[in-house]
Structure 1
């Protein structure tokens, strides 16, 4: 509370000394390497400093709040990295194996079925699917682009997934 109310640097140093190693251990156990764990600890503790005024003791212990921030920081890091796994595609070597004609025919059929399934979606769901997968936009970016609430984008995306799943199960 001293950090939140008075921006007390000594109290923050004590928080950092206590929770820093614990958050780092949590990150290492979750699969982060040393450097990433250190970076995430810094991000988490900076968030604690900046948002200390939002901590409400009646909603839970400070440790719970800090670990929630840590978990969210790790999830945010994974989300940022998951949509574009390769930055330099020229450095990626892909073995050149010529697909036989039967595999090529099946691949073309899958593409056609997926295109038809997407085309059958209602316009608002199809637009969100196209922004998400063809333009690689996050849900927040789609919401901003379409001037929709984030919850609306999420629900339309979920509905589209359900419709596509039912239609595309035989394609696998």
Structure 2
């Protein structure tokens, strides 16, 4: 049975929330039209993203298809309160590629050898780094969900602003504005003395 979400197969998907609903239709009804709409939208974007991250075209195609198969099989695990459809699907693809690289046991690049041994990290430096990491996490949680989404895609998934805009079906200016406003807020929060972040 085709659910009412299957409209995406014949009509335009107007925004990220529609992709969320398509995944939910797959989870709830095993809606093939909803899945086809997701596949048509995300598979080519995943392939391009994976190729930019170093995968060969054929491998990128395999990873993209594997990621979309995972979306079909595990759609019920999608939680729109934790991540938007694009973030969830791109994370699946990235993790599939990382798993494959680990299985292949590719050797890590050999670092340059220097004669000067680096100073061992001091406990104070380690503590300060942990505190800084905690402050960044707190600051990120204070952003609006739409700002967190664009920051994740632009900085953690390494997508260009244009790719973020295309993936979220938003104007490029809106994406740039959200990123700029999020970065301003993060900078303001991180410039506050420790203990004053809200």
Higher-Rg structure is 1
User: Shorter-chain TM-score: which interval?
Assistant: 0.3 to 0.5
TM-score by length of 2: 0.41
Higher helix share: 1
